[in-house]
Chain A
Amino acid sequence: MKDCHLINLAGERLLALPSGVLFMERQQALVVSDLHFGKSERNSRRGGPLLPPFETRDTMARLEADIVRTDAKTVVCLGDSFDDTDAGHNLPESDRQWLARLQTGRTWIWVEGNHDPGAMNLGGQHVQEARIGALTLRHIARPGETKEISGHFHPKFTLNARGTRISRRCFVHDDNRVVLPAYGTFTGGMDCLEPELRGLFANDAFAVTTGQEARVFPLPPARSATRPRLRRGSPG
C-alpha cells in the first residue's frame, strides 16, 4: 500500500487509496462516495444531451478492482450512489447482476444521499447514516461535528506546478473529519478552497490527491482570496 496515504481519525487507521476510496483497516471496510450510477440515463430522461451510456460499467469496473485489491469485508456507499431514484430503478439487468456479484460474501451498506433518498431494492442495507468503529459515516458533513466521514462535495485540488495546471479529485481532511472525492466516472468537482467546503475544516487541513499515487498537500487557510501557487511558471 505504498501508493496510499494513511489518515488517523479518532484512533482509526484510514487508508486513502489513489483511486479515491477510503479503506478502514481495522474493520476491513471500503468506503466510496458519490458513485452517481445512471447519470447518463437520467440526463437523457430529463431532455439533456445524450451522454455516452458507459459510465455505470466504468465506475463498476473500477469499484470491483478496489474491492479485489482491499479484500473488503464491508462496502459502504456514502450516498448519491445513483444519480436519482429512477436511475436506480432503471439500472439495466446486466449492471444489477454485476452489483449482486460484488455484494456476494460481504456486507453492503447504502447510505442515503440527497440524489437517492429511499431504499432501492438492489440488495444490501439502506441507512441514513452508519457507525463503524468510532466514526460516523453520512452523506453530507455536519458543521461542528467530529469523527465523521462524508462525501457530497466532490472535492478537487488544483495545483500550479511550474506553469502546468494540474487538477485532481481529492480527499480533504483535518483532525475531525474526512470528505471523500466523488468516485463516479461522470462526476465533476468543486475546488476544495470554495468557502462552502473549506469552511468545514480547521486551518490545518490537507488535500490528498487521487491519481497514480495518493499525495498530500497542506491547504491554505480559509478565506484566502488567492489560489495556492507554488512556483512561477517560466515562459520557456
Chain B
Amino acid sequence: MSPLPPRFHAWFTANGWQAHPHQLAMLEQAALPAVLLIAPTGGGKTLAGFLPSLVELADNPAPGLHTLYISPLKALAADIARNLAKPISDIGLNIRVEDRTGDTSATRKKRQRADPPHILLTTPESLALLLSYEDAPRMFAGLKRVVVDEIHALSESKRGDQLMLCLARLQTLCPNLRRTGLSATVDDPHDIARMFAPHPARCRIIHADPGPAPDITMLDTEEPPPWSGGGGAYAIAAIMEQVRRHKTTLIFHNTRAQAEIFFHKLWLANSEALPIGIHHGSLAREQRERVEAAMVRGDLSAIVCTGSLDLGIDWGDVDLVIQVGAPKNIKRLVQRIGRANHQYDAPSKAILVPANRFEVVECLAALQAVREHDLDGAPRGPGARDVLCQHILITACSGPFDKDRLFDEVTTCGDFSSLAREQFEACFGFVATGGYALRRYDRWQRLVQRPDGLWQLRDPRQASRIRMNIGTIQDADLLKVRMKNRMGGKPLGEVEEHFAASLSHGDTFLIGGRIVRYEGLKEAVVEVSPDAAKRPRVAVYSGTRFSNSTQLSHRILRLLQNGDWPEMPQHTRDWLTRQREISLLPQPDRLLVETFPEGGRQYMCVFGFAGRNAMQTLGLLLTMRMEHSGLHPLGFVATDYATLIWGLDPVVEPGPLFDPVRLREGFENWLAGNAVMKRTFRGVATIAGLIERNSAGLRKSGRQTLFSSDILYDTLLRYDPGHVLMDITRDEALRGLVDFGRIEEMLTRVADNIDHVPLRSPSPLSAPLFLEIGKVAIQGAANEKLLAQEEERMMKSAGLDQFT
C-alpha cells in the first residue's frame, strides 16, 4: 500500500514518473523524531525531504509555520522555492512557500515574523538571527518539521555547529519538532546522524539507491604531465577535445587562481569559439549569476569552476565532469562526479587530469578508492566553543534565560553532548564578564543576573550590535575589484587584501577570465582597466590549498608498493622504477629520508605523506631542531607527500631529529608565537564576539579606532595565556592549519623505522620538489632585516642616503 495520497500519486503519474523508493520511505518514516536521507545527486532528494510536509499540508492547512527548510546556500533556497512551486500549483495545494535570506527585503522580513508562511526556506545564519528576537517563540509556535539540506557540507564547518545549537533551541520551543537531514554520499552516515539527532535520540538513516557506478577514467595525453605545478595546462588540447564531444562539461579546479589561469589558456585554444564560462567564489555576484543562468538554459559547452559549484543546485544537463589536479579528498571527488548525473539511472561520467607527475599516482589512488566506494573523512571533533560563545550571546538577545537550562539544551546537540560543565562555564564567563584572570572588574559585564536568577544583557541596546555580528563564516579580508569609474565601474570580483597590497600601478592580473591592469586603490576598492596584454604579469592570488586526506595518503603509499604498476602510464612507471633502483620507494610503516648535496647546498628530503599542512609544520619543526644542532638550515618547501630542507651542513644522522618528545617540545614553544595561531585566533575571537566585524558608524568615524587582532592575541599571551579563547585557538590550530595530529599519526605509523638513504644527487622522487613554489626561508629577524635593506635602498634612490 503506497503511503502516497491519491492526488500526489496522480501527479507523479501525470508527469510520467514513479516515486523513488526512498521518497516513499521518507513518507513512511515521517513521524520519527529524526531521519537522515543519504542520496546521490539527482536522486530527487529535495522532493523526498518535502513530501511529508506537502502531504501533511494538503488539506486545509492551518495558518502558521509548518516546515523550516535550511540550506547552506542562499541561491539554493531561492532555487527550491521555484522547484516547489510546480507540484504545489499542479496538485492544487494551498501552501505558502517563502524564502528568507540576507537578500530578502526588510519589509518582507518583518511581515514574515508577524505572519509566517507554511514553509520557510532559509540559511543557518538567518535562522540564528530569527532566534535572537524576543518574538521567536511566537513565530515558531506550531512548527512541525525542519529539513536540513546538504547537511554533509554543513557538518564540516562551524556553520553546522551553529545550526545544531539553533535546532536545540527550536526543539525547546517546539518539543514535537521532527528533523529531516538530506545528505550526499558520505563515508560515515552514522557520524552525521549522531550530530543531527537530538541527543540521546536515535536517527533513522535511509539510503537511496546509489545508482550505477560512475564511469571514471584518467585522461590519456600525448605529452606527459610536467614534474611539478598544478595548472594542467599541458592537457588543454585533450580537454578541449572532450568538451567538443559532450553537451555540457564541468571542469573543476582546486583553487580559484588555477581556474582563472586555466580558463584564460583554454580560451586562447578555443579556436571554434565554443561558449565557455568561468564560475568561482571570488567573482562578483552579477558575473556568477550570468554564468548560472546561461548554464541552466543549456547555453554553455563548458564551465571552468571551483568548489563554488559543489553544492546541489541543478545546473542543467551536465554530461561530463573533468577534475583537473588530484582531488585530494575522495568524498569531494565523488560529490563532484555526481554533478554529471542528471539522469538518475545513467552512470555519471568523469575524467581525472593529473596536473603533474606525482599526481598521476594520486589520481590513480583516487580512482581505485571511488571504485571501491572507500570514502574518506576525519572523525568529527567536538562542537566549536567559539560558536557556543556566540550562541550564548544570541540567547541573551532573545530575552532573560536560565543558565542551567541553557546548558541542558546545549548538551542535547550531538557534538556538544560531551561538553563538560567547566567548559560551558568558561564560555559563559567569557560572554558575561570577559573571563579574564587576575582582576575582576565590576563594570566588566555584558550579562547580569536578575534577582529571579535569570541572566540578561546588561544593556538591552547591545542586542542590535550583537545581531549585526551573527554568523560563523570567516571571509578573508577581501577587496572588491571594479573597472575604473569612467569606464563604467563594473564589478568584476574580489581579491585578497594581501594580494591587492602587492600590486603597483600598471601590474596586470587575471580576474573573471580577463586580463586587467591595476590602476589604484580607492576607498577599499581595487580599480582596474581593461588590458590588451596576452599574458598577465602577476598571475597568482592565493587561495587555500587542500591537504590530501589521510585515507588517500595511505592508499598512495600502498599503491607505490604494487610491483610494476601495470595500471600506470609508461612515463610514470619509468619514473618510479628509477626511484626504486637509485633509492627506495616510500613504505606505509617506514619513513624514507634521503640526503644529498646539490648546487653547493646540503639537502634532506622527508617522505612523510602527512598532507601539506602537516608537512609544512614538520618543515618548521625540523629546521628549528637543525638550527639548534648547528646544521644551519636555510629553507624548506613542503608538499602533500614530502618536505625538502636545505642548509649548509649535511644531516649525517636524521634519526634523532625525529624524536617525538623533542619535536613536541619544540612545537609547544613554536606554536605560541606563530602566525598561524594569530590567524586562527582572529577567527575564534570574531565568532566568539571579542572582535566585531560589523559595527554601525565605526568605519566612518575613522579607521584609527580599529586595531588588529594580533595585538589582542599578544596581550592575552602575555597577561592571560590560559584565557578560554586562547584555549579554543590552540585546539583549533592543532586540528587545522598546523595539523600536528597528522605528524603524530605519521610518527606513530613509522615508529623507529627510519630509512636514511644518502645519495650523491637528487632522487627521481625528490627532484620535482625543487620546482615547487612556496619555499620558506629560515630567517629569525627577517622583517627587521628586510626593513633595513629597503630603508637603505629607498633613501639611496631618493638621493637621501647621506641624510641619516
Contact = CB atoms under 8 A, between A and B. Distances in A.
A186 B707 contact: yes
B790 A159 contact: yes
Nearest to A54: B719
B189 interface: no
Contact of A233 (B502, B521, B774, B775): B502
A174 B313 CA distance: 59
Contact of A161 (B430, B519, B786, B800): B786
Nearest to B522: A225
Given A160-B501, A235-B540, A50 B703 contact: no
A213 B788 contact: yes
A226 B526 CA distance: 11
A170 to B, nearest CB: 11
A25 B720 CA distance: 38
B674 interface: no
B283 to A, nearest CB: 22
Contacts of A168: 787
A159 B436 CA distance: 35
Nearest to A6: B804
B718 A47 contact: no
A47 B520 CA distance: 38
A166 B539 CA distance: 22
A187 B704 contact: yes
A153 B703 CA distance: 10
Contacts of B689: 49
A90 interface: yes
A188 B703 contact: yes
Interface stretch (A65-73, A125-133, A214-222): A214-222
Interface residues of B, number: 67
A103 to B, nearest CB: 23
Interface in B439-457: 439, 441, 443-446
Interface string B510-527: 000000000111100000
B702 A190 contact: yes
A50 B723 CA distance: 13
Contact of A47 (B441, B459, B774): B459
A53 B787 CA distance: 32
Nearest to B799: A218
A44 B444 contact: yes
Interface residues of A, number: 54
A11 interface: no
B715 A185 contact: yes
A186 B704 contact: no
Interface string B481-517: 0000000000000000010011111000000000000
A49 B690 contact: yes
B434 A235 contact: no
Nearest to B537: A232
Interface string B718-742: 1110010000000000000000000
Contact of B715 (A55, A92, A215): A55
A48 B501 CA distance: 30
Contacts of A154: 704
A22 interface: no
Contact of A162 (B465, B503, B786, B798): B786
A211 B775 CA distance: 26
A24 to B, nearest CB: 20
A186 B711 contact: yes
Interface string A146-178: 000000011000111111111010000000000
B647 to A, nearest CB: 18
B648 interface: no
20 contacts: A44-B444, A44-B445, A47-B458, A47-B465, A48-B465, A49-B691, A49-B692, A50-B444, A52-B719, A54-B436, A90-B443, A153-B704, A166-B786, A211-B787, A212-B781, A218-B795, A227-B501, A229-B502, A230-B794, A236-B775
Interface of A: 5, 41, 44-45, 47-55, 57-58, 90, 92, 153-154, 158-166, 168, 182, 185-190, 209, 211-213, 215-218, 225-227, 229-233, 235-236
Q: Which 8 A-B pairs have the closest CB atoms?
A: A50-B434, A225-B520, A188-B707, A229-B504, A54-B719, A154-B704, A161-B786, A215-B791
